[in-house]
Structure 1
Amino acid sequence: MLTLIGFDVSNYFNMVKLALAIKGIEYKTVILYPNQTDEYLLKSPMGKVPALETDQGVLTETNVILEYLDEAYPNSPLYPGSTFEKAKIRELVKMAELYIELPARRCHSEAFFGQKVDDLTKKEVKRALYKGIEGIARSAKFNPYLAGEQLTAADIVFLYSADLAAAVAGKLFAVDLLEMAPGAKQLMDKLNQLDDVIQIAEDRKLANIEFKKYIASLS
């Protein structure tokens, strides 16, 4: 049986968790925060989460895990279609991560934990998020999902990237980021109504209590 390592506040952990739920894959969970212990570095070379233990070994990096799950468990495909269509889904996954999730992450400390971020960083993040969401708007179909009529890995990554990025943009820049990509807000509403997404949100709320204690212990 697969074992998913990580914690329920991590958006990347939740991307894999949702993929497993959509595909109906049984798995175990080991709750663990990122760390640099020798034991964990043998599993996750950078000490990051999530990590997925399989019978063949451990996989890290969320996009790699999503692609592995789709090949190993082909039911309810997350990368459906022709070779080109699959590549377009991978393109949207990469765009959501590089141009939405990662820029916003630079301001998570101020938006969510009350730790001040310098003005230059915020200026760079604001510019990057504008460019990123505009790029998504040009690339995605929103019909109703990013790649068309079927939910794909691109929607999973967008869901758990855009929600945090939109919160950053709203709190720090007073901007409704999702309004900048017509169809994005409707897509987020649709995804957030899924039973699996609702359950993951509940799990995240509960886990956030312990996570805040963990963050406080580091300071």
Structure 2
Amino acid sequence: MLTLYGFDVSNYFNMIKLALDIKGVEYKTVTLYPNQTPEYLSKSPMGKVPALETEQGILTETNVILEYLDEAYPDTPLYPGNAFEKAKIKELVKMAELYLELPARRCHSEAFFGQKVDDLTKKEVKRALCKGIEGMARCAQFSPYLTGEQLTAADIVFLYSADLAAAVAGKLFAIDLLEMAPGAKQLMATLNQRQDVIKIAEDRKLANVEFKKYLSSFS
């Protein structure tokens, strides 16, 4: 059985959970926060989560894990289509991570934890998020999913990247980020109505209590 290391507040962890649930792959989870202990570094070289333990060994980096799952468990493909169509899905995965998730992460401390971020950083993040969502709008179809009629890995990564990016944009910049990509709001609504996504959201809400306790131990 696969073992998934991480914690339910992590959006990257939840990307993998949703992929596994969609594919119907049996797995167990081990709650673990990113750390630099020798024990965990032997599993995850950078001490990051998620990490997926397979019979052959352990894999890290979310996009790598998603692609592995699609090859190892081909039923209900998350990268369907020919070579070009698969590449378009990977392109959107990378865009969501590079231009929405990572810029927004620079302001998570203020948006979600009340720790002030300097004005220059916020200015850079605001510009990056607007540019990123506009780029996604030009590249994606939103009909109804990012690449057409079938849910793919791109939608999974977008769901757990755009939700946080939109929260940052709304709280810090009073911007409705999803409004800037026609179809994005409907896509998010469609995804959030799925029972597997609802269950993951419930798990995240419960786990957030312990996560806040964990964070407070460093203050």
The answer to whether the superposition gives a TM-score over 0.5 is yes
Q: Could you say which residue in structure 1 is the equivalent of 2:37?
A: 37
Q: Could you say which residue in structure 2 is the equivalent of 1:71?
A: 71
Q: Deviations over 1:46-92 (max 9, x none)?
A: 00000000001000000000000000000000000011000000000
- Normalised by the length of structure 2, the TM-score is 1.00
Counterpart-to-counterpart distance in 1, 2:125 and 2:42: 34
Q: Could you say which residue in structure 1 is the equivalent of 2:146?
A: 146
Counterpart-to-counterpart distance in 2, 1:181 and 1:193: 20
Q: Does 1:105 align with 2:105?
A: yes
Counterpart-to-counterpart distance in 2, 1:138 and 1:147: 12
Counterpart-to-counterpart distance in 2, 1:129 and 1:215: 26
| Aligned residues with identical type, % of pairs | 86
How do 1:28-177 and structure 2 match up within 5 A?
28-177=28-177
Counterpart-to-counterpart distance in 1, 2:210 and 2:218: 13
State the shift of 1:218 in Å.
1.0
State the shift of 1:173 in Å.
0.1
How do 1:5-44 and structure 2 match up within 5 A?
5-44=5-44
Aligned length: 219
For residue 28 of structure 2, give the secondary structure of its aligned residue in structure 1. strand
Counterpart-to-counterpart distance in 2, 1:147 and 1:217: 43
Counterpart-to-counterpart distance in 1, 2:217 and 2:174: 31
State the shift of 1:16 in Å.
0.1
Unaligned runs of 5+ in 2: none
Counterpart-to-counterpart distance in 1, 2:120 and 2:217: 28
For residue 34 of structure 1, give the secondary structure of its aligned residue in structure 2. coil
- Normalised by the length of structure 1, the TM-score is 1.00
Counterpart-to-counterpart distance in 1, 2:147 and 2:22: 17
For residue 5 of structure 1, give the secondary structure of its aligned residue in structure 2. strand
Q: Does 1:213 align with 2:216?
A: no
Counterpart-to-counterpart distance in 2, 1:127 and 1:45: 33
Paired letter, 1:29: T
Counterpart-to-counterpart distance in 2, 1:191 and 1:218: 35
Counterpart-to-counterpart distance in 1, 2:167 and 2:127: 15
For residue 218 of structure 1, give the secondary structure of its aligned residue in structure 2. coil
Counterpart-to-counterpart distance in 1, 2:218 and 2:127: 31
State the shift of 1:101 in Å.
0.2
Paired letter, 2:97: E
Counterpart-to-counterpart distance in 1, 2:131 and 2:7: 30
Counterpart-to-counterpart distance in 1, 2:156 and 2:66: 10
State the shift of 1:119 in Å.
0.2
Counterpart-to-counterpart distance in 2, 1:55 and 1:218: 35
